[in-house]
Structure 1
Amino acid sequence: MRVCLINPSDPVVEDACWDEPLGLLYLGAVLEENGVETEVVDLNFHDDFKVLEDSDADFYGLYCSSPL
């Protein structure tokens, strides 16, 4: 089984590329420890969705948050 965890780009935060998606990275580490092939995609470092088109994951997880 393959899982792709996605951190969408954040147009509000200017330096979003400096914030690691720690929640997704922790989740990915737990999945890999349990034998799941995991890919974490941070869209703050990609200009298009080509990286997602090339992914052949069985499941996709999308990180979302809201400012409080």
Structure 2
Amino acid sequence: MKNKKRENLRKQRKKNDLTQAQVAEKLGISRVMYNQIETGVKGVRLELAFKLSSLFEKPLEELFGEVEN
């Protein structure tokens, strides 16, 4: 279930030259859980959304909204 919101996460991760395991470690979650978030299998808890926003230095709207760069 790929969608634009999840593609934004993948794009930011790649742009920052990070693996899923590295992002997961920074968030304090497993790589499997991060993979499920990035691929749309699991939803993103608000706490993790804020951590992702901080990690990628992007506003929530850009990561999870329909905003184009």
Higher helix residue share:
2
Higher strand residue share:
1
Q: Which has the larger radius of gyration?
A: 1
Same fold (TM over 0.5): no
TM-score normalised over the length of structure 1 = 0.31
Question: Taking CA–CA contacts closer than 8 Å with sequence separation of 6 or more, which of the two structures ends up with the larger relative contact order?
Answer: 1
